[in-house]
């Protein structure tokens, strides 16, 4: 099953992605985690130091030139079958693939980098049989380029704020326009009694994540979001999300 995680910047989508991957891994599933965010924060969320995080695919100019070419004539259908194993890093029994986004490539229009990124992501989504969690660029970057239309489900993460929920609604609408109908909403740092506004169209609420003091304290000294004291509660949240996606 392939699950994409989207949301406004700062709402906790990378944390949710890391939790889902860790939960599935401990359920003895084969898990691939795809970091498709400019911030490149999924690796650190899993406990990697910045030096341990692989170079993003979009910044690997040598590989891009080898597979896609440069200039006016580029190969829009590059061979990528060998790249997942070559580029992935083993993290806690999971495979981490750092792709980045074109906005983080730092060179021109990024057409060649975009071709390779899109081809690899499509290959992983369509041909890989493992569980896959894709941490998307904050906002609507990947939705605008249509790179995740074949995932099994979309998890839209938001805080209980009007701005966050409006962005979540916009993400949901764009995803539906692309044919991605299976969507769920996760409210992060939300009180149990928080009610969703009726005038903002949103996906079905799958879970609420309360404010975690332990996570706030952890992040003062570490980027890792795993191994928290509330792991049992977090596992239940992950289970709810996956159950809703499967329906």
Q: Which residue has the higher pLDDT, 105 or 38?
A: 38
pLDDT for 235: 98
Q: Give the pair of three-digit tokens for residue 238.
A: 């992950």
Q: How close are the terminal C-alpha atoms of the chain, in Å?
A: 12
Among the four given CATH numbers 3.30.2130.10, 3.90.340.10, 3.40.50.620, 3.40.50.300, the one describing domain 2-246:
3.40.50.300
Tens-place pLDDT, residues 9-21: 899 999 999 999 9
The domain locations on the chain are 2-246
What are phi and psi for residue 180, nearest 5 degrees? -90, 90
Tens-place pLDDT, residues 167-224: 999 999 988 988 888 999 999 999 989 999 999 999 999 999 999 999 999 999 999 9
Which of 40, 15, 178, 18 minimizes the C-alpha distance to 101? Answer: 40
Helices (H), 190-247: 213-218, 231-246
Tens-place pLDDT, residues 25-68: 999 999 999 998 888 899 999 999 999 999 899 889 899 999 99
Q: Which residue has the higher pLDDT, 57 or 102?
A: 57
For 58, other C-beta atoms within 10 Å of its C-beta total 25
Tens-place pLDDT, residues 112-145: 887 888 888 888 888 777 899 999 887 655 565 5
pLDDT for 106: 39
C-alpha distance from residue 3 to each of 37, 38, 97 (Å): 15, 19, 15
- Residue 132, helix vs strand vs coil: strand
Q: Give the pair of three-digit tokens for residue 182.
A: 């299976």
pLDDT for 247: 87
pLDDT for 39: 83
Tens-place pLDDT, residues 72-84: 678 888 999 999 9
- Residue 233, helix vs strand vs coil: helix
Burial class (CB in 10 A: 0-12, 13-18, 19+), 51: exposed
pLDDT classification of 107: cutoffs 50, 70, 90: very low
């Amino acid at each position: 099953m392939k699950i994409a995680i989207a949301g406004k910047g700062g709402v906790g989508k990378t944390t949710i992605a890391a939790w889902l991957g860790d939960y599935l891994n401990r359920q003895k599933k084969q898990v691939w985690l795809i970091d498709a965010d400019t911030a490149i924060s999924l690796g650190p969320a899993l406990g990697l130091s910045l030096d341990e995080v692989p170079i993003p695919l979009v910044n690997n100019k040598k590989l891009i030139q080898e597979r896609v070419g440069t200039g006016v004539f580029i190969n829009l259908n590059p061979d990528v079958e060998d790249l997942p194993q070559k580029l992935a890093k083993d993290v806690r029994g999971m495979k981490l693939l750092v792709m980045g986004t074109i906005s983080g490539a730092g060179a021109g229009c990024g057409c060649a980098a975009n071709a390779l990124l899109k081809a690899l992501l499509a290959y992983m989504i369509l041909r890989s049989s493992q569980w896959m969690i894709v941490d998307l660029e904050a906002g609507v970057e990947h939705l605008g380029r249509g790179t995740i239309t074949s995932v099994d489900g979309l998890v839209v993460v938001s805080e209980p704020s009007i701005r966050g929920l409006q962005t979540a609604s916009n993400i949901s609408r764009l995803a539906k326009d692309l044919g991605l109908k299976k969507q769920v909403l996760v409210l992060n740092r939300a009180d149990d009694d928080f009610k969703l506004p009726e005038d903002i169209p949103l996906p079905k609420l799958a879970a609420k994540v309360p404010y975690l003091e332990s996570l706030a304290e952890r992040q003062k000294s570490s980027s890792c979001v795993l191994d928290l004291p509330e792991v049992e509660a977090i596992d239940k949240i992950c289970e709810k999300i996956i159950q809703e996606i499967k329906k």
